[in-house]
Amino acid sequence: MNHGVYDVTSHGHKADPFRLTGASRRVLLMALLSAVIAGLSAIGLLALSGWFLTAAAVAGATGTVAAFNYLVPSAFIRALAIARTVSRYGERLLSHRAALTGMAQLRGQLFGALASQDSRTAPDLSGGDASARLIGDIESLEDLVVRRPTRPANVVAALLAIGLTLFAGWPAALALALALAGLPLLLRRLAERLLRAPAVAAAAAQAALRIAWIDYAAARPEIIAYGLGDRVTAALIADAQRLDRARAALFRGEAAVASMQLGYAALVAGLVLALAEGGAAYVALALLAATASVEAMAAFARTAVRQASVEEGLARLAGLLALDGTPAADITAAPMMLALGAVRLAPGDRVAITGVSGSGKTRLLEAIAGLRPAVHAIAIGDVPIDSIDAGNLRAQTALSPQDATLIAGTIADNLRLARPRVTTTDMQAVLHIACLDARVAAMPAGLDTLLGEGGGTLSGGERKRLSLARALLANRPWLLLDEPTEGLDSATEADLVQRLGGWLDATGTGLLVVSHRRKPLALATRSLAIGDCETAASLPDQSMPAMARNR
Amino acid sequence: MISKQKRAGWLWVADVAGAALFAWGIADAVASWTGADGANSLALAAILAGGITRAAILLLVQRQAIAGAQASVLALRRNLFPRLLAQRGAIAASLGQSAVLAIDHAATIENYEARFVPVRTAATAAPLLVIGFVALASPVSAGILLATLLPFIVFMILAGTMARRASERQLAALGQLSGLFVDRIRTLGIIRHFGAEARITRQVQAATSDVAERTIDVLRAAFLSSAVLEFFSALAVALVAVYCGFSLLGLLPFPAPESLDLREAFFALAMAPEFYLPMRRLAAAYHEKQLGEAARLELDAIPAPPPPRPADAAYAALSVDNVRIEWPGSSIGPVSFGIGGTGLVALTGVTGSGKTSVLAAIAGQIGVTGGNITAVDPQDIAWAAQRPLVLPGTLHDNLVLAAPAAGAAEIQAAVRATGLDALLAGRDAGLDLVLDHRGSGLSGGERRRLGLARALLSGRPLLLCDEPTADLDDDSAAAIIALLLDESRRRAVVVATHDARLVAVADQTVHL
């Protein structure tokens, strides 16, 4: 089993692994500044308007209109309206800029961290679910970064509101201060209580539903043939309703958090009113400032709501970012002897691995290629495979795996994976050996034909042959082929085997082949039962072989 | 009947009443303060009642919204699941894609129904109700609010169109990026194997920062529409405040059509932000709207089933005549063969040449583009899949899926014929062995035998087998081949295979 699969949480990192740096950090600070201005002008606009109205009414009633300076406040009101708009736009744009550039950097870092792992011990992210979850985690982190500036801005706005409430006396201001200080705590508590369990349940139900769906969808012809549509639909709907219940609880929980905040705002307004003292204009100022300040705390509620569902994801990301590993060195090594069980194979040997289906032949090839930990007794150059670092291991082998494993990109991109600056002539040459040259030449875009994910536009047999051509380009001492002619008609298969034999002769490359078809087995000069690879001959471990020193 | 999400929308409209109560409380408190009455308990009660009303309405709205949305999605699933899983007709989607249609799109539509539909329902009536309340206190203020609406709409259309185009481009770019990222993560093993990790890392980093840059450009436009909304919302408050203030001072530069007192003026001011609130809620749900509509379009694009082919009588013979099946980008056939009441036909050809599709066409599960196939009653066709269906239940339940009335003796016979008895011998539970949909506890070969036993038990005269020997070891494959050969003396058997051993024993081989 691979270690550290991507759902292990709890890494207990104290430091924030997602701290933005450099330019993104400066942008985020500017976003924060904009958010502060936006928060201040929103509260200022309402409070000043309230004060202005009341003071105007008082002046009108007491006949002191002439002494009332109405131009400054009314100009301020208009200025605040514009300031609120502009600063809010700035806040949104800048915080998104910071989040986007920060996340671009994070994706790069994450990928770099994952790429420099040894495949044998790396977290396994190859499953669609795991990689989709990784993307989801990054997106929710992006969302959190976007919201980051609003929280400190809310605090500044709250301070302004408390300051304005002071005009209505210190008891009102103190009450508002206490109420605002308690609100984030209350929101977090409530979110924690109402949302955490449904968030976890929803994620689990979603994953279970997806797995069940994939299984049933694969059996579609049988479902139709035996008229089982209703039964399967009923089974799936039962699964889906488990998901619905969790999602509904989550939704209602979010509503409860928002609802609590509305009630709280009214309560705070009532409290400020009850404790207020002084002139009517100042009471108006305090009342509107207090109301607006609770509303402004909405960002805390949103963050609290999001936090419950993203925390696990953040822990997962932190775990991946904390992986340390140095990229394997690129080494060109002399061909080494390969030992499987008690059998020692010299460079250039050609061996067929035999065994019934499910006996672990694929597993053996993948272990020799360094893709997964070995369960068989394998040694290269007399060193047990577990003690060989990734760089030295891959310098010996080139694998064409059972499922082809092509990358999304062009045919040439796939070939370049094995040799960076390969010439067109060389690409044509290996495609010819793989009997794919004519097919590629017939494509309008030739080598630049875009393949979808997993080799989309090619048939199964064509994907296999492209993967073979790629392995040939790598020029490594041992070629590992897993069912190389699966899906080929027998004429093409014969051509391929003959050309491949010629290539092996010319290059002196060693071969390990697994196939349930007979023709490719003819490439091998000897065969080895998979059962014989399980126990090791006594390996000379006293010497320090050349390869281990390269670490 | 009106849906619950719509009802939630009308409840949102009722929220305006709570807002008005709150606003009146504040206005009354301030107005009575000028009269030196001090705190006014009626005003205080109105403030609290207004807040509690709004909080309660919000809870009710969201409860109704999610209940309604989930009811809609349940109805959608009842229609969608059978269409994707059990409907004849060409659905050229991968398993992953069909899961996206069935699960992710359903979730997206739930979000649309729960978050967008209620606010859209409220978006017209709620602002009008706000206008009505404001007009009670100050008709001119109500007029001011209405007057801001016209330029707002014009700007919104301009900015909204820009924003929509921009955000569509952004969605597309983000989709491509996460596609590339997921692909490279998935193939990381082989990338490391060929020592290409440094290059691919640089490629991924370049692609991510490129998309980030482009997205930021796009957002500049996308945020304009929210800025317009923000501006008019602020403008409405500012205009009402300045008008009311000047009116109270008696300094209006035009003849006042109304005479305001502080209570009325303050009420108008406190209600002013409520005017644009429904539209702000609508804007906040815009993303849900976009995604929901896109998901609906995709679900609607699932083709309707082809008309059923009427079968004349019980199965006697099958004739496939010059049949062609065409998908976008690939073409199968023409293929021709015939089989009577018994015999074994092997369809062979490379992977992707369309063997399974021809079987599906014989079963009437997909339509053909050309040629003719004898119409066979679906009740006469048994299907043995490469990875057979397992429903949660016992092994017995799963064996008799196609023959609920099968007796113990028949079941025993089918179990023996397919070699499942060896499996049962090793397990205590026998036929009561409990299985989940994964078929946990069954090996690939045992699962294959289960599918075959089920097909035999169905007693149907035409048996279609998809790759019956793939991935099996020699002994198991030989046993299955012998079984199929034996069955072909009792019924018509058509197999899709690229196994030379199976092809060798067939009465007839059809190359695709």
Q: What is the mean pLDDT of residues A66-91?
A: 88
Which residue did the predictor score with more confidence, B279 or B474? Answer: B279
Burial of residue A423, with CB atoms counted within 10 A of its CB: 0-12 exposed, 13-18 middle, 19 or more buried: exposed
Q: What's the rounded Cα separation, in Å, for the pair B467 and B495? A: 7
Q: What's the rounded Cα separation, in Å, for the pair A40 and A159? A: 9
Looking at the DSSP assignment, which residues form a beta bridge with residue B259? none
Residue type, B327: W
Per residue in A516-545, pLDDT tens?
778 889 999 998 888 888 765 444 443 333
How far is the CA of B316 from the CAs of B92, B311, B496, in angstroms? 31, 11, 21
Tokens 């990928």 belong to residue: A111
Q: What's the rounded Cα separation, in Å, for the pair A440 and A511? A: 26
Q: What's the rounded Cα separation, in Å, for the pair B472 and B482? A: 14
- Report the C-alpha dihedral over residues A505, A510, A512, A515, rounded to 10 degrees: -10
- The dihedral built from the CA positions of residue A155, A159, A164 and A170, taken in this order, carries a sign that is positive
Q: What's the rounded Cα separation, in Å, for the pair A151 and A361? A: 57
- Chain A residues within 8 A of B220 when measuring between CB atoms: 93
Q: What's the rounded Cα separation, in Å, for the pair B377 and B394? A: 29
Alpha helix segments (H runs only) across B138-261? 139-186, 188-193, 197-249
H or E element at residue A173: helix A170-218
Q: What's the rounded Cα separation, in Å, for the pair A472 and A463? A: 14
Closest CA to A198 of A161, A240, A243: A243
Our CA-based measurement puts residue B359 at a distance from the nearest CA of chain A, in whole angstroms, of: 9
Q: What's the rounded Cα separation, in Å, for the pair B240 and B138? A: 10
- Chain B residues within 8 A of A135 when measuring between CB atoms: 178, 181-182
Q: What's the rounded Cα separation, in Å, for the pair A135 and A514? A: 36
- Chain B residues within 8 A of A212 when measuring between CB atoms: 437
pTM of the full structure: 0.79
Is pLDDT above 70 for B212?
yes
Q: What's the rounded Cα separation, in Å, for the pair B217 and B58? A: 36
How far is the CA of A25 from the CAs of A21, A37, A414, A547, B251, in angstroms? 5, 19, 37, 45, 50
Which residue did the predictor score with more confidence, B38 or B414? Answer: B414
| Record: contact B189-A111, CB cut-off 8 A | no
Our CA-based measurement puts residue A166 at a distance from the nearest CA of chain B, in whole angstroms, of: 17
Tokens 């008019």 belong to residue: B232
Instruction: Reduce the secondary structure of A258-296 to three states and give it as a string.
Output: HHHHHHHHHHHHHHHHHHCCCCHHHHHHHHHHHHHHHHH
Per residue in B260-307, pLDDT tens?
888 999 999 999 999 999 988 888 888 788 888 888 988 888 877 766
Is pLDDT above 90 for A83?
yes
- Chain B residues within 8 A of A226 when measuring between CB atoms: 383, 401-402, 454, 458
Peptide bond preceding B334 in cis form (omega within 30 of 0): yes
Q: What's the rounded Cα separation, in Å, for the pair B417 and B413? A: 6
- Nearest beta carbon to residue A226 from set B227, B250, B401: B401
Averaging pLDDT over each range in A350-364, A463-477, B343-357, which range is the top one? A463-477
Which residue did the predictor score with more confidence, A533 or A466? Answer: A466
Per residue in A96-133, pLDDT tens?
888 888 888 888 888 888 888 888 888 777 665 666 67
Residue type, B107: A
Is pLDDT above 60 for A8?
no
Tell me what the pLDDT averaged over chain A comes to: 84
Is pLDDT above 50 for A286?
yes
- Band (pLDDT 50/70/90 cuts) for residue A5 is very low
φ and ψ at residue B384, rounded to 5 degrees: -110, 115
Which of A53-57, A415-419, B143-147, B175-179 is predicted with the least confidence, judged by mean pLDDT?
B175-179
Our CA-based measurement puts residue A470 at a distance from the nearest CA of chain B, in whole angstroms, of: 9
φ and ψ at residue A410, rounded to 5 degrees: -90, 170
- Band (pLDDT 50/70/90 cuts) for residue A136 is confident
Q: What's the rounded Cα separation, in Å, for the pair B497 and B485? A: 14
Is pLDDT above 90 for B367?
no
Q: DSSP readout, B340-389? A: -SSEEEEEE-STTSSHHHHHHHHTTSS--SEEEE----GGGEEEE-SS--
Q: What's the rounded Cα separation, in Å, for the pair B509 and B494? A: 10
Burial of residue A334, with CB atoms counted within 10 A of its CB: 0-12 exposed, 13-18 middle, 19 or more buried: exposed
Is the separation of the CB atoms in B346 and B506 below 8 Å? yes
- Nearest beta carbon to residue A401 from set B33, B190, B360: B190
Is pLDDT above 80 for A4?
no
> Closest residue of B to A492, CA-based?
B350
- Band (pLDDT 50/70/90 cuts) for residue B350 is low
CB atoms within 10 A of CB B2: 10
Tokens of B58: 């919000």
pLDDT of residue B171: 64
Is the separation of the CB atoms in B100 and B319 below 8 Å? no
- Chain B residues within 8 A of A35 when measuring between CB atoms: none
Q: What is the mean pLDDT of residues B179-204?
A: 86
User: Which residues does A453 contact at the CB level (< 8 Å), separation at least 6?
Assistant: A408, B179, B183
- Chain B residues within 8 A of A111 when measuring between CB atoms: 181, 184-185, 200-201, 204-205
Is pLDDT above 50 for B106?
yes
- Count of pairs with CB atoms under 8 A, one residue in A, one in B: 451
Relative to beta strand A478-482, strand B318-327 is unpaired
- Chain A residues within 8 A of B501 when measuring between CB atoms: none
Tokens 């007192």 belong to residue: B261
- Band (pLDDT 50/70/90 cuts) for residue B90 is low
**Interaxial angle between packed helices B262-284 and A22-62, expressed in degrees from 0 to 180 and rounded to the nearest 10:** 160
Residue type, A373: P
Which of A450-454, B246-250, B340-344, B496-500 is predicted with the least confidence, judged by mean pLDDT?
A450-454
Could you say which DSSP state residue B113 is in? I
Alpha carbon A124 to its chain's center: 12
Per residue in B222-235, pLDDT tens?
788 788 888 888 88
pLDDT of residue A498: 94
pLDDT of residue B38: 58
Percent of chain A with pLDDT over 90: 34
φ and ψ at residue B180, rounded to 5 degrees: -65, -45
Tokens of B464: 């279609």
pLDDT of residue A137: 80
- Report the C-alpha dihedral over residues A276, A279, A285, A287, rounded to 10 degrees: 30
ipTM of the predicted structure?
0.85
pLDDT of residue A13: 42
Is the separation of the CB atoms in B100 and B179 below 8 Å? no
- Chain B residues within 8 A of A115 when measuring between CB atoms: 188, 191-192, 197-198, 200-201
Q: What's the rounded Cα separation, in Å, for the pair B314 and A223? A: 21
Looking at the DSSP assignment, which residues form a beta bridge with residue A299? none
Q: What's the rounded Cα separation, in Å, for the pair A169 and A84? A: 28
Per residue in A221-266, pLDDT tens?
899 889 898 999 999 999 999 999 999 999 999 999 999 999 999 9
Is pLDDT above 80 for B43?
yes
Is pLDDT above 50 for A9?
no
| Record: contact A111-B201, CB cut-off 8 A | yes
Per residue in B308-336, pLDDT tens?
667 667 888 899 998 888 765 456 778 89
Q: What's the rounded Cα separation, in Å, for the pair A387 and B343? A: 57
pLDDT of residue B495: 94
- Interface-testing mutation among A119, A233, A449, with chain B (most B C-beta atoms within 10 A): A233
Could you say which DSSP state residue A532 is in? G
| Record: contact B183-A453, CB cut-off 8 A | yes
Tell me what the pLDDT averaged over chain B comes to: 85
**Interaxial angle between packed helices B444-457 and B408-417, expressed in degrees from 0 to 180 and rounded to the nearest 10:** 130
Is pLDDT above 80 for B178?
no
| Record: contact B193-A370, CB cut-off 8 A | yes
> Closest residue of B to A120, CA-based?
B189
In whole angstroms, how large is the CA radius of gyration of chain A? 34
